[in-house]
Amino acid sequence: MEILETAAALQARTEMWRRDGSRIGFVPTMGALHDGHLELVRAAVAENDVVIVSVFVNPTQFNNAEDFNKYPRVLESDTELLRNTGCTALFAPTPEEMYPRPAVLQLDFGPLERVMEGAHRPGHFNGVGIVVSKLFHLARPHRAYFGQKDWQQVAIVRQLVADLGFDVELIAAPTVREADGLAMSSRNRRLSPEARQVAPRLHEALLLAAAHLPAGTAVAQAEAQKFLGGFPGIELEYLEIADAQTLQPDLTAGGDVVICLAAWLDGVRLIDNVLVHPASVTAQRNSGGQA
């Protein structure tokens, strides 16, 4: 596995691979890799000739300086994990390499970013859009792999690809979970033992909301919020029920529904979601229930 630290080095490699006719898979990450990331890498290795993994904690998508400073950075262990996956190249640039000049571009993703993460983290998706665009230009992948745990991010990147005409196939892989249901996340390693004990309740709340959807979205939300309220260590930021494609609360007949949440546990912010298929919400739509 080759380690690349500059944009020029990555561009040189991708141009060579493209000339050779190699299919390039790309997995963008912010490091502190876990099995969820590694599953994406393995999928990319199985489906492409060459696989690039980026490790870059992107400053422009953080609207909280403390959160950015505390985000785990363990490049040495990340490198060792990747050596056993079949990864061809690790791209690990510095912030100065990615942003030799401050980015002034402003991206607006419309209704997709007015809700959930976008509503609670102003500027977050502008930062995501800029860094993903830069990475796509440098890596020139045929396929790019993202995890469904960041459901809204996947929707944003899909819009970015469509609007800017990137010639890349977006692959969204199911969320990988711990044995107790907690969604794998780089932030999990920051949880105290006490917070780690209650963290699986987040996934349980999502499943509870899904089970109550036939009674209406308002009921489903209320039951999940009531459940989480029984755990003082959990500070719920939002729990939203939306159309899985538009991310809006008006559900599309026959369309999938996504239930998303964000919560703070002992100073650590976690997100999660579950996807519910149409058959499970037919009764909810017929009842006219809305959040």
| Ligand-binding site membership of 147 (annotated) | yes
DSSP state of 101: S
Separation of alpha carbons 277 and 15, rounded Å: 41
Query: Residue 284: pLDDT above 80?
Result: no
Q: In which band, very low, low, confident or very high, does the pLDDT at 280 lie, cut at 50, 70 and 90?
A: low
Q: What is the pLDDT of residues 42-73, one digit of tens each?
A: 999 999 999 999 999 999 999 889 999 999 99
Rounded CA-CA distance 250/58 in Å is 33
Based on the residue annotation, tell me whether 120 is a catalytic residue of this protein: no
Question: Tokens 């969604």 sit at which residue?
Answer: 183
186 is in an annotated binding site: yes
Amino acid at 144: A
Residue type, 42: R
DSSP string, 30-85: -SS--HHHHHHHHHHHHH-SEEEEEE---GGG-S-HHHHHHS---HHHHHHHHHTT
Whether residue 248 is annotated as binding a ligand: the answer is: no
The pTM is what? 0.93
The architecture that CATH gives domain 2-173 is: 3-Layer(aba) Sandwich (3.40)
Q: What is the pLDDT of residues 7-31, one digit of tens each?
A: 999 999 999 999 999 999 999 999 9
Q: What whole-number distance in Å separates Cα of residue 217 and Cα of residue 259?
A: 10
Q: Is 153 annotated as a binding residue?
A: yes
Domain ranges across the chain: 2-173, 186-287
pLDDT for position 76: 97
Question: Any known ligand binding at 255?
Answer: no
**Assigned token pair, 286:** 């017929």
Domains 2-173 and 186-287 share a fold: no
CA-wise closest residue to 240 among 132, 118, 115, 133: 115
pLDDT at 253: 78
Task: Find the catalytic residue in 37, 124, 203, 212.
Answer: 37
pLDDT attached to residue 243? 97
Strand 234-243 relative to strand 257-265, pairing: antiparallel
Q: Looking at the predicted structure, is the pLDDT value of residue 290 above 60?
A: no
Q: Is the pLDDT of residue 107 over 70?
A: yes
Alpha carbon dihedral 23, 27, 28, 34, in 10-degree steps, equals -160
Query: Does 34 show up as a binding residue in the annotation?
Result: yes
Cβ partners under 8 Å of residue 253, min gap 6: 285
DSSP designation for 167: -
The answer on pLDDT for 261 being more than 50 is: yes
Q: How far is CA 175 from CA 21, 81, 123, 185, 203, in A?
A: 31, 19, 25, 10, 11
Q: Give the number of other Cβ atoms within 10 Å of residue 287's Cβ.
A: 15
Cα 237 from Cα 242, distance rounded (Å): 16
- Is a pLDDT exceeding 50 seen at residue 286? no
Q: Options 3.40.50.150, 3.10.20.880, 3.30.1300.10, 3.90.230.10; which CATH number does 186-287 get?
A: 3.30.1300.10
Residue pair 125/38 in contact (Cβ under 8 Å)? The answer is no
In tens, the pLDDT along 210-226 reads 999 999 999 999 999 99
